[in-house]
Each structure stands twice: as structure tokens, then as C-alpha cells.
Chain A
Amino acid sequence: MSATPTVRRWAAAFTLTAGLLAGAKAYAGPVDKVGFIYVGPRTDYGYNYAMDQGRQEMEKALGVKTVFFENIPENSEVERVMERLSSQGFKLIFPTSYGYLDPALKVAAKHKDVIFMHAGGFKLAPNLGTFFADIDEVEFLSGMAAGAATKTGKLGFIAAHPIPQTLRNINAFTLGAQSVNPKATMTVVWTGTWSDPAKEAEAANSLIDQKVDVLTMHVDGPITIAQTAEKRGVMVCGYHADASKFAPKGWLTGSAWNWGPLMTAITKSVQAGTWKSEHLRGKLKDGYVKLASFGPMVPDSTKTAIAAKQKAYASGTALWTGPIKSQDGTVVLKEGEVMPLEKVESMGFLVQGVTGTLK
């Protein structure tokens, strides 16, 4: 694993902001205590679970003390938590939910000697940066396993809301499936909420009734969908965390976060005084996201093909390279054309072969 994070420096887009804010110097020096704030329970087996795994790994790697807060709503409450941590000598705080961005900016403005690293946000302050990882590459690999395994050629994606992050995952997964099985189609069912297991179960059932035989998802936790798939005898690819034990027969693989190395690198950079206010985006080749374990139904030939693709990504192949067409056949990217990063981060279309409505 490489020591320096692959960094996408969004310098151009943020020159203005950075210029306005220049002059202030961020904290550099010993970090005894690091604070983590989660929007849900750290045992959710999804997003927050992955964040907490990262925290534990960082704690072990660097020997710093960490403190975490769970179930903190994205309102004035998270502000209070950050306020308290800031005045208690915490030099580095990780507000890990998307909605923590504005409260974090507010607290960061008051406590200039504390560094905030927000997960997934898109704004900066002299003492606030953001981090995230490109999980869509893993979704592509996961989609390859699905495309190779499907017998009906019909895949199903259960997702909460049509936002750029979910669209990226749906498109990447579908492209992956089509790369090994050009006839594979994808049907999307939106549940309208990040966490409603009953709706997730019913969405899974309705897709299975339509002869979909591989399911995947982008909701808070993969458990209900994995179990429903197993119960009905179809296959499943996970998201957020390895849920193979919930579908011992039908589990193919899945995308999982691996925040430990990135969190360790960030903390180290603060200690060394090299921390910068920027948007850090980890990639698959650095191990910041990873493929979950393979299930018993994935043949070696598929594993080899996935490994080859993974290697290609590591050597710099861009996922969002043309030809890519949208649902109605409109050319989004011409042969060989690479999608600019800001377009990727604000994705608003579904690729050809996907059935699903955006608005």
C-alpha cells in the first residue's frame, strides 16, 4: 500500500476560496486526542460501521487516543459536540456525515487551532479539509461478478435517492456487468429513504418477482436485502461492508470502505505539519476502498478478470472513459473521452441498459 494518499487536488476550482482564506496557518504538532462523530450507530453494519473500523485501525497504527460520538443529528447538536471537543484539547476532529459540513465550518471558524476533516463535503476553510474515496471503481468490479453470474441477464439495484453518489454507483455497477455480459440490464428501485428495512425487503421481493437474479444496493445497511435475496434463492452484491454471512449461498462480492489508511495518513500529516486544507480522494489502488470477499458461486475465471481490471485501474485507467451512452442512447462520452472530475462528482444521468426514473 503506498504511503501517500492519491490526492485529487481541486486546486483550480478552489483557488478563489483558498486565496481569500490564505494567511491563516493551520495547527501542526502533537495530536493526543482525535474526535469522531457519527450520524448513526457505529454498529449499523454500513457507513458508520466502516468509519468506526477506520478509527480503530488508526488508533492502533498511531497509538493516539480517540473518542467517538454516535447518533449525533445533523443540526445544532453536532455543533455542540464539536464545540465541546474543540475546547477540550482535541486538535483533530472527523465529522463523518455529509450534513455535518456547515456546522463544522461554523465551529472551525471559531476554533482556528483545531483541524476538521469532513467526509465527502465540497467546501474548505483554512482549518477544514475533506476526505472521501472513489468507491465506483469497486462497484464496477462488483458489477463484473454480477454480470458473469446472472442467468436471466436481469440485475436489480435498490437505492435510497437519485443523487450523484447513487447514480455513480448504479452506472459503474451496470458498466461493469455489461463489460462481461453486454446483454445485462439493470432495474433501479428507489426506496426514498436511507433506512427502512421493510421497504428494502419489499423492493427486493418485487425485483425478484420480475426475474432479477442478482441484487445490489446503496442504502444504509446491506443486511435486509442480502437476507431477502438469500431467502428467495437469488444472488447479491453488497455495499458499505462485507455482509457475506447474511447470504452464505448467494453472496457474490461487494464494495467496502477501508478508511483506516486514509485516517492514519491524515493524522500523521497533522503531526508532521504537512496537513493542507484540501479535498482528499482515496482510490482503489491505494486500498482506501476494497472488494469484499468472494462468495462460493464466483468462478476463478471471474476472479481473474476482476483482478485484471483492478490492475488496469491501478495503472491509471479511468473508469469514466467513453464510449458511454445515457439511457435514451444519447452519447455522454465519445470513444476514448474521459469525463472531467467535476462532472463525475455531479453525475445526473443513468447509462444505457438501466431502467429507472430520475425525477
Chain B
Amino acid sequence: MDVGTFVIGLSLSALRSATPLLYVLLGETLSERAGVVNLGVEGQMLAGALTGFAVTVLTGQPWIGCLAGAMAGLLLSSLHALLSLGLRANMFASGVAVWMLGGGLTAYFGTGFVGQKIDGFSGLKLKGLERFPVLNEAMAQITPTVLLVLFVWPLVGFWLYRARAGLTWRTVGESAETAAGLGLNPIRIRLQAILAGGALSGLGGAALSVDYTRNWIEWMTAGRGLIAVGLVIAARWNPFLALPAALLFGGTEALTLRLQALGVNASPYLLATLPYLVCLAVLIWGTRRAHGRGGMPRDLAAVFSRTE
């Protein structure tokens, strides 16, 4: 057993598993930084996964599929915006409604697409790399949605910390009241943040179906949307920390499978809980280090605790 091969394999595997999750995680970070929790991301991810797959089946173009997936996520998130911003419904109840609706609708409309075949993206082929077979094979496993998310990741960070518009989003997240006093329109800004998050979660779903698995099956996200909501907290609402958080989860998940493939004698049941345990540990560690709020936007904190 070659250690180098194992490390390369595990890293690629972690990156692949983390990719769909990272899109969703970045999207949820955006909307939470503007002060809105969206539990509907699971449903939005499913909407993106089905729409992305279906459009790829119909057009044969995975990029158009991914774009359509992002649009589907955006569209479904607008329902969360309507309920939570427009009708002032409880944002958790509204998010759960969107989550269930997304799951139900995609299960219903998706039946016709189960068992369809798509070709998806092909892996990277770099000239001159043929001389290094291990590296060449590794690169061939990196697909366009992986590269795209590595590009989107710093972009979201710069948007929140370096762009003027991002600053207004954060202001609204800290205190809508203050923001309104400054002449900003908190509702409009939160709407933008929800929709941006919706598009990213839809894209994450499409990355899962069109690229990663080339398959559609109902509820195929298997809780990854909700995991992303949890990872936002572990990453302390910091988009730059989103990549390590997603890699940690994806990597642990990949590790549990790789250990088995290596023939390590460990309980499959315990291994399956490992990704969650690791995230929980990071969550506790992160919260303790940040003394309480852990980077949570102030207006969000108010949703949880009225005394703050």
C-alpha cells in the first residue's frame, strides 16, 4: 500500500464529496450573513438536482443543465423569501415548508427521469501531463463543477468582506434596524441574499446529479442540504472557512469508505457516524473559541435568544 497514492486518492475523494456541499454552504452563508436562515436548501438542492439532470437529458449539455439547476434553486428559494420576508412567517417553519415541497415535487416530477442516461462532463486533460501517470489520472478525475466551486469560494468571500454591496448585506444581518436607519432597504437586501443562496444551492444539487453521480433518484441529496446549514455554524459564518469545513465533512465521509476499501477492520455503523462526530467536535471547539456567538450575525442571534 503506497502512502502517496492513498493521500492523493483521499484528497481527490474529499474534494469531490465536498463540492456539492460547498456550493450550498456558500449560498447559505450568504443568506445567513444577511440575517435569514434557510432550512429550505435541502429542497432547493433537490430542485437543482432534478432540473439540472432533466435539462441535461433534454439538451445533452451539462453546462445548460447546471445553469437550469441554479435557476430552479433560485425559484424555489423565492418561496422562502415570500413566506419569511413578505408574509413575515417564521423563517424556520417557512424553510421546512420549502424543504418538504422541494422533496415532494421533485419526487413526483422526477419519476420520468429515473434510469435516463446522461454523459456529463469529462475530466481534465492537460497536455504534457501524460509523463506523470498518477498525476494525470488524478487530474482526469477533477471535473468542471469542482473547479467552478474553487472559483466561486473566494468570490463569495470577497463579496462579503471587500465589496460595498457585501458590506450592506452584513450590515443588514447585524441589525436590520440600523441598516434601515442608514437608508438601506433590509427587505430588498435579504431578498437578494436568499435568491443568491437559492441559486448556489440549486447549482450544488446540479453538481451532484449532472456531474458527480450522473444520476437522478428522489431524495438523492440524502441530507446534504441540512448538513450545509450545520457547517455554516461550524465555519462560523465565514465564507473563507467554508472550504475547510466542507472538506472536513467530505473528507471524513470519503475516509470512512476508503478505510473499508483498504480492509481496515472497523464497524461500518461507527464509521458511518464519523463525519457527523467530527463536525460536532469542530462545532463545539469553534463555538468555545469564539466565546458564545461564534460569529453569528446579531439579528440571527436575536431569532434564537430574545434576551440578546
Evaluate whether A202 and B215 lie within 8 angstroms (CB atoms) in the complex, with A41-B107, A45-B115 already known.
no
Complex-state Cα separation, A188 to B20, whole angstroms: 26
Contact assessment for A209 and B9 in the assembled complex, using a CB-CB cutoff below 8 Å:
yes
* Nearest CB of chain B from residue A202's CB, rounded to whole Å: 5
Query: How far, in whole Å, are A282 and B114 apart by their CA atoms in the complex?
Result: 28
* The residue from A188, A212, A224 contacting B213, defined by CB atoms under 8 A apart: A224
CA distance A190 to B110 in the complex (A): 27
In the assembled complex, the Cα of A26 lies from the Cα of B271 at a distance in Å of 48
A189 contact set on B, CB distance < 8 A: 257, 260-261
- Closest CB of chain B to A193's CB: distance in Å? 7
User: Which residues of B are found within 8 Å of A71, using beta-carbon distances?
Assistant: 107, 218
B interface residues, tally (CB under 8 Å): 42
Contacting residues, chain A, for B16 (C-beta < 8 A): 201-202, 205
- B residues 163-218 touching A (CB-CB < 8 Å): 208, 212-215, 217-218
- Are B261 and A209 in contact (CB-based, < 8 A)? yes
Residue pairs across A and B with CB atoms within 8 Å: the count is 123
A223 interface contact, C-beta 8 A: yes
B260 partner residues in chain A, CB cutoff 8 A: 187-190, 203, 206, 356-357
Determine whether A200 belongs to the interface, using a CB cutoff of 8 Å to chain B.
Answer: yes
Q: Verify A202–B17 contact, CB threshold 8 A.
A: yes
Chain A contact residue count (CB 8 A cutoff): 45
Within 8 A of A (CB), among B253-308: 253-254, 257-258, 260-263, 265-269, 271-272
Asked whether, in the complex, the Cβ of A70 is within 8 Å of the Cβ of B111, the reply is: yes
B161 within 8 A of A: no
B117 within 8 A of partner (CB): yes
Chain A contact residues, CB within 8 Å of chain B = 40-45, 49, 70-71, 156, 161-162, 187-193, 195-203, 205-207, 209-210, 212, 220-221, 223-224, 227, 245-246, 355-357, 359
Given A42-B111, A205-B13, A223-B115, list of 5 further CB < 8 A pairs? A41-B217, A44-B114, A192-B272, A357-B260, A359-B269
Q: List 15 A-B contacts (CB under 8 A).
A: A43-B111, A187-B261, A188-B260, A192-B268, A197-B208, A197-B220, A198-B222, A199-B253, A200-B213, A206-B9, A209-B5, A209-B258, A221-B215, A223-B115, A359-B269
